[in-house]
Structure 1
Amino acid sequence: MRIGIVVDSACDVPADFIEQEDITILPVTVQIGNAVLADMRNEEATLNFLTGDTAAQAYNAETTPYTVQQVHDLFLNKLVLDYDYVFCICTTRTRSGIFDNAQQASYTILNDYKPVRAASGNNTPFALRVIDSQNVFAGVGVLAIEAARMRAAGETPPKIRAHLENLANSTHGYMVPPDLHYLRNRIKKRGDKSVSFLSAALGTALDIKPILTCHRGETSPVGKVKGFNAAVEKMFDFAGKRVRAGLLTPTMNLSYGGEMEEMRKLPGYERLRETCAEHNVEVFESFMGLSGLVNVGKGAMVLGFASEPHKFE
């Protein structure tokens, strides 16, 4: 059976992984003033887009996920021909409309695919499953990586589906944003009041950086540390502790809103890499997608993994 994997562009996974696993992207379109770019996870295009006035006004960006019709057309024009079963893994529905759009489109896709496949000489059934990752950025990538691993191992779609849906409940994303004022302005535009002006102002004045988590669709702060580097180091060291305690998948997924060489110089990075190597956990690294960058700011550090319930310490 031919199994396909689809993710939205806010899912942070390496570009070579996307290419090797033939993963299809549902792009999010980003508009800043008159500048418009469909986020296809192209690092060069993203960096070129976020320059000058565009970068300065990024917090004011409008983001538009693939519509129901666009998802429907992508499947009918390509995916129902290339695959027999497709897993569509989406950013948590609490932060993006892409899950709801894909879910709604799935009903019409399953009604309309038969004549399309028949015209190509294929009368076998087609199926798809839309998965709410309940996470963001690198956290979404954990599920995409696991889907590819299980596909390569020859697992059946029902087993993959059950595992991914269960794994979503145990996936944890952690992030250190570099600029509280930017984050506050961005989430205010989205109608989120979780970072007040006062906390942003105090945090900036004192150089206090929050460590944020996303789990089961809910985001919240779990720590505050003076200095970006110190906060990232604390997050990396905590991730190392979870690796030593035992992860549910052999995956540590990192994404960064900047050059990879900058990320690799951050304190605690090498220790985390060494810990993962000692415990046979594969580390994935990616440049954060454009839709993620405009939401949390350039220079944000994010990691995702799946583990048993825990407290950040």
Structure 2
Amino acid sequence: MRIGLVVDSACDLPKSFLDSHDIAILPITVRIDDAEQIDYRDPRVTLDFLRSHVAERGANAETLPFTVEQIRDLFLQRLIIDYDYVFCMTITRTRSPIYENAQQASFAILNEYRAIRAAAGNATPFALRVVDTQNLFSAQGILPVEAVRLRAAGEGAAKIRARLEHLAMHTHGYLIPRDLYYIRTRARMKGDRSVSLFSAALGTALDIKPVLHGYRGDTGPVAKIKGFEPAAQKMFEFAGARVRAGLMTPTLTLCYGGELDEMRALPGYTQLREICAEQNVEVFESVMSLTGMVNVGKGAVVVGFAAEPHRFE
């Protein structure tokens, strides 16, 4: 059985990994005033955006995910011919309509694929599964990395499906933003009042940085630390402790809203990489997607892994 994998462009994994494993992308369009940029997970495009004057207006950007019709067309034009079973792994449904759009598209796809496959000389059934990763950014990457491993090991669709759905319930993402005002503006643009003006002003004045935890579709603060670098160091040290305690997959993912050398220079980063090497945990680091950066601001850092429930300490 030919198994295909699909992610959306908010999934922060290296482009080289996505390309080498033929992982298809559901792109997200970023619109700022009259300018539009389609996010195809190209780090060069993302960094060019970051350096341009457009980035200064990023807080007012609008993100437009693939519609039901666009997802349907992608599958019917390519994926139903190339594969027999496809896993489509999306950003958490609580933060984006991509999951629901993919679910709706799946009904049309499964109703229309037979004639197209038959014309291509394939009369066997086609199936797909839309999986909510229940997380954001680099934490989304845990599932596709595991899917690649299972596919390479020759596992069947049923086992891969069960494993991905189990991991989605145990994936943790930790994020530290640099600019609370930016986070507040983006939240208000999307109708989210969780970051008040007072807390943003106070946090900025005192240089307090929250550590946000993404887990099972919810995102909320688990710590407040003075200074971005001390906060990053604390998060990296915590991630290292979780690696030593044992992860559910040998994978740790990282993304950064800027040049990766800036992230690599943060305190605690080198030690985290050393711990991962000691524990045979593979590290995937990538420039944060354009979609991610317009939502959480430049300079944000995220770490993701799958583990049993725990507390940030």
Instruction: Give the TM interval when normalised to the shorter protein.
Output: over 0.9
Aligned pairs for 1:197-276 (under 5 A) are 197-276=197-276
Distance 1:206 1:88 in 2: 42
Q: Distance in 2 between matches of 1:102 and 1:66?
A: 9
Matched residues in 2 for 1:24 and 1:203: separation? Answer: 39
**1 CA distance for matches of 2:240 and 2:67?**
39
Deviation of 1:120 (Å) = 0.6
**Deviations for 1:116-169, whole angstroms, at most 9, x for unmatched residues?**
000010101111000000000011111111111111111100000000001100
**Deviation digits for residues 93-137 of structure 1, max 9, x if unmatched?**
000100000011001100100000000101011110000000000
Matching residue of 1:152: 152
Q: Is the 8 A contact 1:50 1:58 kept in 2?
A: no
CA distance in 2, matches of 1:246, 1:211: 22
Matched position secondary structure for 1:194? coil
Q: Which position in structure 2 is the counterpart of 1:107?
A: 107
Q: 2:18 is paired with a residue of what secondary structure?
A: helix
The answer on 1:297 being equivalent to 2:293 is no
Question: How far did residue 51 of structure 1 move?
Answer: 4.1
2:14 corresponds to = 14
Counterpart for residue 27 of structure 2: 27
Query: Residue 232 of structure 2: SS of its match in structure 1?
Result: helix
State the identity %.
Answer: 63
Matches of 1:116 and 1:7, distance apart in 2: 23
1:59 aligns with 2:59: yes
Partner of 1:194: 194
For normalisation by structure 1, the TM-score amounts to 0.99
Q: Report how far residue 27 of structure 1 moved.
A: 0.4
| Distance apart, 1:52 and its partner CA | 4.1
2:177 matched residue in structure 1: 177
Q: Which amino acid aligns with 1:42?
A: D
CA contact (8 A) 2:50 2:258 kept: no
Q: How does 1:115-134 map to 2 (within 5 A)?
A: 115-134=115-134
Matched to 1:68, the amino acid is: V
Letter in 2 for 1:205: A
Could you tell me which residue of structure 2 aligns to residue 279 of structure 1?
A: 279
Give distance in 2, aligned partners of 1:46 and 1:302.
Answer: 16
Q: Which residue of 2 aligns with 1:98?
A: 98
CA distance in 2, matches of 1:52, 1:303: 26
1:79 aligns with 2:79: yes
What amino acid is the match of 1:154? G
- The structural deviation recorded for 1:49 is 2.8
Pairwise CA RMSD = 0.8
Q: Distance in 1 between matches of 2:176 and 2:198?
A: 19
* Amino acid of the structure 2 residue aligned with 1:246: G
- CA contact under 8 A between 1:65 and 1:97: conserved in structure 2? yes
Distance in 2 of aligned mates of 1:181 and 1:268:
26
The Cα of 1:56 is off from its aligned counterpart by 1.1
Name the SS of the counterpart of 1:37 in structure 2. Answer: strand
Relative to structure 1, the CA distance from residue 50 to residue 262 in structure 2 (aligned partners, 3 Å threshold; closer, same or farther) is: closer
Moved more, 68-77 or 53-62: 53-62
Contact residue 87 and residue 131 of structure 1 kept, 8 A: yes
The alignment's TM-score, normalised by the length of structure 2, stands at 0.99
CA–CA distance in structure 2, aligned partners of residues 50 and 280 of structure 1: 34
Contact 1:260 1:286 in 2 (8 A): yes
Give, in whole Å, the separation in 1 of the partners of 2:204 and 2:4.
44
Report the CA distance between 1:48 and its aligned residue: 2.3
Task: Give 1:76 deviation, angstroms.
Answer: 0.2
Aligned length: 313
Distance in 2 (alpha carbons) for counterparts of 1:187 and 1:201: 15
Counterparts in 2 of 1:262 and 1:50: CA distance versus 1, 3 Å: closer
1:33–1:54 contact (8 Å) kept in structure 2: no
Q: Could you tell me which amino acid in structure 1 is paired with residue 296 of structure 2?
A: V
Amino acid paired to 2:312? F
